[in-house]
A and B are shown apart, each in its own frame.
Chain A
Amino acid sequence: MDVDDFLKEKELETGDYIKIEKDSKLIEGRVMPSSKGNKLVLKLNNGYNIGIELEEIKLKEKISSSEEKQKKEIEIEENEDLPLISVLSTGGTIASSVDYRTGAVTSQFDADDILANIPELSKYANFRGKVVCNILSENMEPKYWKEIANSVYKEIKKGVDGVIIAHGTDTMAYTASALSFMLETPVPIALVGSQRSADRPSSDNVLNAISAAKYASSNIAETAIVMHAESSDNYCYAHRGTKARKMHTSRRDAFRSINKNPIAKIDDEVQLLDEDVNKRDEKSLKLKDGLNTNCGLLKFTPGLDEEILDKYCETFDGIVLEGTGLGHVSRSWISKIKEANKEGIPIVMTSQCLYGRVCDRVYDTGRDLLEAGVIEGEDMLPETALIKLMWVMNRTEDLEKIKELMQENLAGEITNRTKKQTYLI
């Protein structure tokens, strides 16, 4: 018998408050949802949950039924002097609340909920909330990038002073990169999330959200990821959307700018760290959301059979390689790359080193790769190169044109000088 049958048989529901007998002792508690199914989980009056063997339970009485919880409305006063910011939610848990009666944690999406969770935000701006989608970060897809880009576009068109996108952190950098290519923006666009869930008092969501609000009110009209700069709750960085990468599974400061300084340090004030940025209202709003999503990323590993490239060429219209070192794959791949090139399939080379610039002119293999038609991805992140290739291939199918665009800086994804102090920061 599993717990569902047990509850059905006894005419009980999750949330009911019951009294049972076990080991000839009485136990009172509230029926909780059970994950494993072979035990009845009760929440005792002292707050603890315990699991009880179904066979050993003698139900004495149902004391009360589950109560519907009521949501508390909050009132937020708006301040006319503050900027107006749109908060778009995609399903990250920047805000959530806990029902201590049942132990349930609910993620919350609308702007009021976020303000209720982080009341400090109201000091920095007035907010409008909108739910774009409600998915876990790992379930993100290019079609949602388009939806998000369109929503941002509409919000900016309506005249908001900045946009904040709440996003799960796993694939936040991909979305940030996609938005960077899809949107030319006169206002700041911040992607923000939390590495430690919002239901815990130690969550990084408060500092991240406040910093995102400061960034979204600033004069920097760039798409950026705003997250903790350190393990401490001290300040945040705004990382350029095309240069940011999640470099740690769990730390608060997981996001790093690779091969470029962060755009800004966000402390009490927003402090510019990179002069090379678009200012507010410098560009006019443009949406270019077309993507050829039929592009793939392939990581070369020692001994990886070149046949794999055939499979990739059968599947994809364009391919980004993550090569070794300066941008290499085994010599045995060179003829396959030549063939691909003949078929008009662009092959872009990036490096699994992540840091530094691809340069295929140094070694023979590299020179042969160039001759075979490989496009050097400069100092682009492999993931950024993939998204850029999708974007570029929606615009042109001409291999030469693709090559030209892939090597031109479109959205801050390529720098023309490799600066010394941009390594491991």
Chain B
Amino acid sequence: MELDFEELGLKVGFEFHQQLDTENKLFCNCKNYLIEDKEPDYVFFRQLHPTKSELGEVDKAALEESRLNKVFKYYGYEENTCLVENDEEPPNEINEEAIDITLEISELLNSNVVDQVHTMRKIVIDGSNTAGFQRTALVAINGYVETKEGKVGIENISLEEESAQKIEGDLGGEEAVYSLDRLGIPLIEIGSKPEIYSPNQAREFAEKVGMVLRSTGKVKRGLGTIRQDINISIEEGSRIELKGAQELDLIEDYIENEVIRQLNLIKIKEKLEERKLKEIETIRKDLTEVFEQTDSKLIKDKLKNGKVLGMKLRGFNSLVGMEIQENRRLGTEFSDKAKKASGVGGIFHTDELPKYGITQEEVEKTRKKLDCKEKDAVILVADKEEKANEALDAVKSRAKQCLKGVPEETRQPLDDGTSKYMRPLPGSARMYPETDVPPVEIKKQKIKKIKNNLPELIEEKVDRFKNEFNISQQMAQVIVDSEKTEIFEEIIQNFNVSPTIVYDTLIGKFSELDSDGFQVKKINDQHLRDLFELLEKDQISKEVIGKILKKVTQEPKKQVKQITEEMNLKSMKKDTIETVVRDIVEEKEELIEDRGFDSIGPLMGVIMNELDRRADGEEVSEILREEIRKKLS
């Protein structure tokens, strides 16, 4: 489908969440890292109770989360969670290092920093914060980013604590399990204005903000360390929040697919209007007897201690089965909402039946029982009666929204570029001051200092590397995007070695070792300095770099020089190399006479093996060429 986004009135806004790479967490002195594959040292259970505001307002999203009397289970780790994460001790003052990074990013995004930063409590009762609120502080406002299609405003930049990570329990269950290691990691939130008008511009904007963040060198890298919420609307539709998109490459797909979904929902609304449906009319009946002898395994299982309930949706025939996004039908939306509301496994609808072992005969009986006309559809749910009824209530309320077109909601982005229902849009954030954390004054002097020391942006650095070190655009891009940028530059400036060799080592060799299962993070900058010093002095050949680094990962406490000596990897003297080459040339005389200089290829392999690779390949090749010339002449 060719879409004219301008015509449709597309508006997109972003909210980025990026973890900062500080030493400690935001409000305590626990270290800032995630625990991998470890049993928790302690476990505790809590319940959260939404505190009503004095005006009696209750947030829609909050209500949906808390409707079930949920118990939250938390996993704690002595090494990096403390009583602050456990919500058993007041927070420390806000981490100054995190404030400084946020100020730097605010300046890079052309924002106005506030004079005094106030930490707030933002009510969140899905269990992801043990306190029932997230601590968050607004640091800067009114920034912008330039894109090819125009300026995009940055509305706010906040510093907040990362939530605990959910490790078990889908929304809607009775218990959810969270791991506390992530709770309290500093997180910068950047909110744009809805001033993006095409999927291309969205992609460019997201890439640019990502580039600025990485340019500081003070943000976390890797999966889950940056997340984006994308707000999408078209003129005739509604605002949708896609929560936690991680894949940059899918941004255009997400936006396009959402536009398509909204257009299709509008089409459904028009169809319902054509059918003169002004309100949702339903009839609900217990249809258990229709399915008593059913072959459907799904239903048979549920009938052991449940019922089959059917609900007629007047006027919805063929609409429930209508595709609104690739592989997603209106029925899928009904189903997601029902699952979330009641915890049922799913629903059936007559547009997709007969299927799943449900026969045509059963469908006909069902329609007859509910006195269906041709234009009516039926939703079936098999489960305990109460749950099934809750599911049908949810379907009914979603069907009602069809009359208006596109409901505002928060949706979960899926890997194929589509999305599914997650929860209602959160109301305006309920915030009140975090009185345990004093406000922080931002001195003009500090801002000035940060302004004068802003980091070189990645895109500028790529250009500079390309020109100064004479490497390709792609190599420059890769090295600058990596975590090796600084050591790369330092080595090239301090040692007389080829930038290509340094590049091959830091990027190529590292990724080879990594995929072979060696722990490359054990290799530190000093190892690399020592390595290239030896190379500069011709004490080792570039051919042994891989071997040395492999050993370093195993014995990182040893110096590179020592490893080189112990492994006997020091380069051989020229006369030794010459002797070896001469011996081999003698030995392979026949081959040389047979193939002349074409024998260099096969002979190089033999000689380098004999030399244990302790010589530079080009040098050896030159000596060999010389010896062959002598032989042939």
Binding site for B on A (CB under 8 A): 22-23, 25, 27, 35-36, 39, 41, 44-53, 56, 69-72, 96-101, 103-106, 116-118, 195-196, 198-203, 206-207, 230-234, 249-252
Contact = CB atoms under 8 A, between A and B. Distances in A.
Interface stretch (B129-137, B336-344, B526-534): B129-137
Nearest first, the 7 A-B pairs at minimum CB distance are A51-B116, A201-B132, A47-B431, A48-B138, A49-B118, A103-B432, A50-B114
B88 A252 contact: yes
Interface centre among B45, B112, B430, B432 (most CB of A within 10 A): B432
B116 A50 contact: yes
Contacts of B430: 47, 98, 100
A282 B432 CA distance: 49
Interface stretch (B50-58, B347-355, B485-493): B50-58
B156 interface: yes
B483 to A, nearest CB: 33
Contact of B54 (A99, A230, A252): A99
B433 interface: yes
B429 interface: yes
Contact of A198 (B51, B90, B117): B51
Given A98-B51, A202-B130, A48 B87 contact: no
Given A200-B51, A202-B87, 5 more contacts: A48-B138, A50-B117, A50-B141, A97-B52, A250-B90
B132 A98 contact: no
Contacts of B132: 200-203
A202 B48 contact: yes
B409 to A, nearest CB: 20
Contacts of A98: 51, 53-54, 430, 432
Contact of B83 (A101, A199, A251): A251
A15 B83 CA distance: 36
B133 A200 contact: yes
Contacts of B56: 72
Contacts of A49: 118, 120, 138, 433
Interface residues of B, number: 53
Contacts of B441: 39, 51
Contacts of B449: none
Contact of B116 (A22, A41, A71): A41
B428 interface: yes
B550 interface: no
Nearest to B130: A202
Given A41-B116, A49-B433, A196 B87 contact: yes
A103 B131 contact: no
B182 interface: no
Contacts of B50: 201
Residue in B48, B433, B439 with the greatest tally of chain A CB atoms within 10 Å: B433
B53 A99 contact: yes
Contact of B49 (A47, A50, A72, A201): A201
A258 B599 CA distance: 91
Contacts of B158: 48
21 contacts: A23-B112, A25-B141, A39-B441, A46-B428, A48-B156, A49-B433, A50-B138, A51-B118, A51-B441, A52-B116, A53-B115, A98-B53, A99-B55, A100-B55, A100-B431, A105-B435, A196-B88, A200-B131, A202-B48, A202-B87, A203-B49
Contacts of A207: 47
Interface in B65-119: 71, 83, 86-90, 112, 114-118
Contacts of A97: 51-54
A51 B114 contact: yes
Residue from A72, A203, A230, A231 whose CB has the most chain B CB atoms within 10 Å: A231
Given A51-B117, A101-B55, A201 B125 contact: yes
Given A100-B430, A101-B55, A250 B123 contact: no
